[in-house]
A and B are shown apart, each in its own frame.
Chain A
Amino acid sequence: MSKSVIMLSSLTKKFLMAFAGLFLVMFLPVHLGINLFILPLTENHVEIFKEAVHFMTTNPLIKVMEIVLFSALFLHMIFGVILWFENRQARPVGYKVSQKSKVYSPASRFMIHTGIMVLLFLVLHFVNFYFVKLGLTSAPAGLNTPADNHDFYNMALNLFSQPLYSILYVVLICGLGVHLHHAFQSAFQSLGLNHPIYTPVIKGVGLVYSIVITAGFISIPIFFMLQ
């Protein structure tokens, strides 16, 4: 890491953090929209899912977006760690008595922790899907043999048939939910967007967004656990 990255103004770091974060926020509903077709929503849900996967893995525009997405993710993580580290240094001696957790947004206090949960999730996710596609890891084994290394449907079925995997999935996604709850409105504030009328709306949208994303993703493993 070059020194110049650390030398950036605190506000610039926060800006980049928020900007990258909001980009990631846009990506999640797309992913969720596709994932939901793993569930028997319609007659031909498997076909729809496979078609969507095909589109996402082959479309050149998506390929470009993938690079942007990974860059945003990388930027977000790097700045997250730098800021966290700097913030720890800003108070070398702590307080003996602290009542803060009672009063203020608990989610904001655990951004690094929930962020690490999301990272763990991503590692798991990459090993099980993305790297399989690239041929770096082998597809998760199970009752359903995947047709090829793009057959995410059968891979997902194999994974969700393991209760331990499903539970881990639910826990980590809940971490993502908590992360998003603070992140959404926080990103707007960091970008300088705070307004007596719009900020409450942004907060409301952020809450709904984080609940929908969390509930949406965990509905899939829960569906398979209940079966």
Chain B
Amino acid sequence: MKFTLKIWRQENAKAQGRFETYQLDNISADCSFLEMLDILNEKLVNDNISLPVDTITFDHDCREGICGMCSLYINGRPHGPEQGTTVCQLHMRRFNDGDTITIEPWRAKAFPVIKDLMVDRNAFDKIIQAGGFVSVSTGGVPDANAIPVRKEDADLAMDAAACIGCGACVAACKNASAMLFVSAKVSQFALLPQGKIEAKERVQAMVAKMDELGFGNCTNTYACEAECPKNISVENIARMNREFFFSKLTLAKRESNGGGVG
């Protein structure tokens, strides 16, 4: 297959970026999108006799749709045209021969471009560090019925935990809001007994961090849900809202008397 690629090139966070056009021929329809970029980069290396060669930088790691590193905004959609799929799982057969494909990085104030198509998503890690964990060891795998959990809650928690933190929700949102990501992380804990204990503090801390990092506000457009490669539901956002208001109303700041015995 033959493609014309319009790719965003930017030296570093400060530099002025621009689109460069590349022609690519002889691409197999079974080639994945990232492999196609690998081929382009190899071509750039081979064609450029003079050094240093400036290959196109893009994020990727597992290439099997589970790590959340790949992050390309393809023809106006995060992770490209296929529903519920990361870029690494997208194949060139989804495009037509001769297509022009525009590839951009995620665009958000909280996700500054590092180089070309790679953006800095540390903001997500900071949100997780603010509260996206359970602070005590929950031990090994408990006996099947030691901690009763409703089947439905277990399923919902699992669905929320499917979030790979790629940032497609932020990229898709017209307000660059991180609500879908944060709500998935809040939900996966809030739904389960081990996570419930710290639920109130968690939601407050994570939301405060999200605001602080300069993500936009949710306007319930639901572009995030439509573009999420893991089909995370906006029901999580409503759950986070509930958790947040409930914790606001009930969280009493008491003087701590220190730890318990032992």
Which residues of A line the B interface, CB within 8 A? 9-15, 83, 86-87, 89-100, 103-105, 108-109, 111, 182, 185-186, 189-194, 196
Contact = CB atoms under 8 A, between A and B. Distances in A.
6 interchain residue pairs of minimum CB distance:
A194-B238, A90-B216, A192-B242, A99-B76, A192-B241, A87-B175
Given A15-B245, A103-B226, A9 B239 contact: no
B177 A100 contact: no
A95 B73 contact: yes
B190 to A, nearest CB: 12
Given A9-B211, A10-B207, A192 B239 contact: yes
A194 B107 CA distance: 29
Contacts of A105: 221-222
Interface string B188-216: 00000000000000000001101100111
B221 A97 contact: no
B75 A92 contact: no
Max chain A Cβ within 10 angstroms of own Cβ: one of B217, B221, B223: B217
B76 A98 contact: yes
B107 A87 contact: no
B175 A189 contact: no
A100 B217 contact: no
Interface residues of B, number: 44
A97 B75 contact: yes
Interface of B: 6, 19, 73, 75-77, 102, 104, 107-110, 172, 174-177, 207-208, 210-211, 214-223, 226, 234-235, 237-245, 248
Given A104-B223, A192-B245, A83 B76 contact: no
B238 A87 contact: no
A100 B216 CA distance: 17
Contact of B219 (A96, A185, A186): A186
A91 B107 contact: yes
Contacts of B110: 90
B109 A15 contact: no
Interface centre among B176, B210, B243 (most CB of A within 10 A): B176
Given A14-B218, A192-B238, A194-B239, A90 B109 contact: yes
Contacts of B217: 10, 13-14, 83, 86-87, 90
A108 B173 CA distance: 11
B224 to A, nearest CB: 9
Contact of B244 (A9, A91, A186): A9
Contacts of B241: 11, 14-15, 189-192
A95 B107 contact: yes
B216 A91 contact: yes
B171 to A, nearest CB: 9
B108 A90 contact: yes
A189 B234 contact: yes
Contacts of A12: 248
Contacts of A93: 107
Nearest to A92: B109
Given A87-B177, A95-B73, 9 more contacts: A90-B110, A90-B176, A91-B107, A91-B109, A96-B104, A186-B220, A190-B220, A192-B243, A194-B237
Contact of B215 (A90, A97, A108): A90
A4 to B, nearest CB: 14
Contacts of B175: 87, 90-91
27 contacts: A9-B208, A11-B245, A12-B248, A83-B217, A86-B216, A87-B174, A87-B176, A90-B108, A90-B110, A90-B176, A90-B177, A90-B215, A93-B107, A95-B76, A96-B102, A97-B75, A97-B104, A98-B76, A99-B75, A100-B76, A105-B222, A108-B220, A108-B221, A186-B219, A189-B220, A190-B220, A190-B241
Nearest to B227: A103
A207 to B, nearest CB: 15
Nearest to B179: A10
Contacts of B240: 11, 192
Nearest to A79: B217
Contacts of B207: 9-11
Given A90-B215, A99-B75, A193-B238, A182 B220 contact: yes
Contacts of A90: 108-110, 175-177, 214-217
A91 B239 contact: no
B174 A109 contact: yes
B104 A95 contact: yes
A54 B223 CA distance: 47
A156 B81 CA distance: 52
